[in-house]
Amino acid sequence: MYYCIVNPSARSGKGKEIWEKLEKKFDEKGFEYRAVFTKGPGHATKLARNLTTKAPEGENDSTNKKHESPIKLVVLGGDGTLNEVVNGIQDFENTLVGYIPIGSSNDFARDLSYPKDIDTLLDKIIEAQNVRTLDLGKLTYNSMSRETSRLHDDKIAVTRIFDVSSGIGFDAAVCEQALSSGTKNFLNKIGLGKLTYGSIALRQLLGAEKVPCEIILDNGESIHLKRFIFIAAMIHHHEGGGFNFAPKADLTDGKFDIVYAGDMPAIKMLFTLPMSFLGNYYWIKGVGHHVVRKATIKTDKPMWVHTDGEVSVKSDHITWECLQQKLRMMN
């Protein structure tokens, strides 16, 4: 049995249309499947949690699908939908995830060399001959502000899992604005959704606040910035629709790349961002890079925080950790 979690709103409403094409593929191959459409923020998390929660002992396996081994989840949506599903999985060892990327950024798929042809990708998922295990990141809010994003879950969890990246400051502020951006919806409709983040980034950068911060690495090293622009914990190479912030990130080594930019004027950051698309910007003064298992960030005032582009709340004290080879992917 394949459990398909479909975001019908992905790619500005084309998610349902794409699913109908994939549904025919399942029917042609004679596979048993069940599809559920998400209804709003947080719904994919609830669906994944329900499907992967272990049933009480003594339940009849023939009537309780939760005892299947492994549980096969197929996610059709963007990076945000995948993030919600990953945050709902209760039993990673017994869950296989297939992902059909149809979002505006698709940074998760970018690093895994997914075939562009959806039929080919679906064949790989159904065959499940290649199962790879990938690292995940874990964000812990050591504090939360009362200010929440325009799109957030009813109840904000103290911890969140991320599969691509998590960031605080500039990149999170861009994500927060993009979540409810009319520009994003328009560009998605004409196939240029990736430009959303670039246009919003320029506005956010020029208006960025001057906020000091402290970065505490797992080896005890402390880095102080008088004015930080952004700090990101990168499991994968890219975020924000193609910013190659961590070109040498290893998706399976149990560590993440922490990258940051600070103590530089905004005009210099306008030069740095294009260089990051090429994955060649560590040499720029004001840019830092470390490979760690854990890091703690303290800022002088609460700032937006994102996990895979999803923004819930501001914080001035967070911790990132890496969970080695936690996610099992079918492709």
Is 327:133 a contact under the CB 8 Å cutoff? yes
Residue count of the chain:
331
| Same domain? 89 vs 152 | no
Report in angstroms the alpha-carbon separations of 94 from 35, 57, 60, 67, 236.
20, 16, 18, 9, 23
Dihedral over alpha carbons 68, 64, 79, 328 (to 10 degrees): -20
Report in angstroms the alpha-carbon separations of 76 from 73, 98, 203.
10, 9, 31
Answer whether residue 66 shows pLDDT above 60: no
The count of structural domains within the chain is 2
Alpha helices (H) along the chain: 10-13, 15-29, 43-52, 79-88, 107-110, 118-127, 170-179, 182-189, 195-206, 266-277
Q: What is the mean pLDDT of residues 245-256?
A: 96
Residue 25 banded pLDDT, cuts 50, 70, 90: confident
CATH number at residue 176: 2.60.200.40
CA-nearest of 236, 209, 214, 249 to 107 is 236
Dihedral over alpha carbons 100, 102, 103, 107 (to 10 degrees): 50
Domain-located, residue 331: no
| Same domain? 172 vs 264 | yes
Task: Give the pLDDT score at 54.
Answer: 74
Task: Give the pLDDT score at 40.
Answer: 86
Cα 82 to Cα 162: distance, rounded to the nearest angstrom: 9
123: tokens are 């064949």
Q: How far is CA 169 from the centre of its chain?
A: 16
Is 329:163 a contact under the CB 8 Å cutoff? no
Give residue 49's domain range: 2-129
| Same domain? 60 vs 199 | no
| Same domain? 72 vs 102 | yes
pTM above 0.85, yes or no: yes
Answer whether residue 56 shows pLDDT above 60: no
DSSP state string for 284-298: STTEEEEEESEEEEE
Domain-located, residue 109: yes
Answer whether residue 30 shows pLDDT above 60: yes
Residue 61 banded pLDDT, cuts 50, 70, 90: very low
For the segment 192-250, what is each residue's pLDDT rounded down to a tens digit? 455 555 666 666 676 677 899 999 999 999 999 999 999 999 999 998 878 899 999 99
77: tokens are 């949506």
Task: Give the pLDDT score at 269.
Answer: 82
Task: Give the pLDDT score at 129.
Answer: 66
Domain ends where: 129, 162, 183?
129
